[in-house]
Amino acid sequence: MIGYEFYWHDPIKGYQLIGILPERRKNPKRITKESVLNWGKKYFGGNLNLNEMFFLEVEINGGPIHPL
């Protein structure tokens, strides 16, 4: 299964892990970088700036990874 680790850049502490979300959408055409970032912003809080936030695609439970 695919998941996403979300990070943001704190000017004082550097890069900080915000959290991890699993990908549950079945249609890969709906999965875009923008949709993943917007999902992370919605889930982790609207106070985060998308320009200071990024994600890494990770493997959860040994499933395959498909790059975006």
How many angstroms separate the CA atoms of 12 and 26, rounded? 39
Residue 44 maps to a domain: yes
Residue 66 maps to a domain: no
Residue 26 maps to a domain: yes
For residues 18-47, give the mean pLDDT: 85
Range of the domain at 30: 2-59
For residues 35-57, give the mean pLDDT: 83
Residue 14 maps to a domain: yes
Q: Are 59 and 65 in contact (CB under 8 A)?
A: yes
For residues 6-34, give the mean pLDDT: 88
Residue 67 maps to a domain: no
Q: For residue 19, list its beta bridge partners.
A: 6
For residues 5-33, give the mean pLDDT: 88
Instruction: Give, in degrees to the nearest 5, the angle at Cα 55 between 50 and 58.
Output: 165
Residue 33 maps to a domain: yes
Residue 24 maps to a domain: yes
Q: How many domains does the chain have?
A: 1
Percent of the chain with pLDDT over 70: 88
For residues 5-32, give the mean pLDDT: 88
pLDDT grade for 66, boundaries at 50, 70 and 90: low
Q: For residue 20, list its beta bridge partners.
A: 5
Residue 51 maps to a domain: yes
Count the Cβ atoms, other than its own, within 10 Å of residue 23.
18
pTM assigned to the model: 0.77
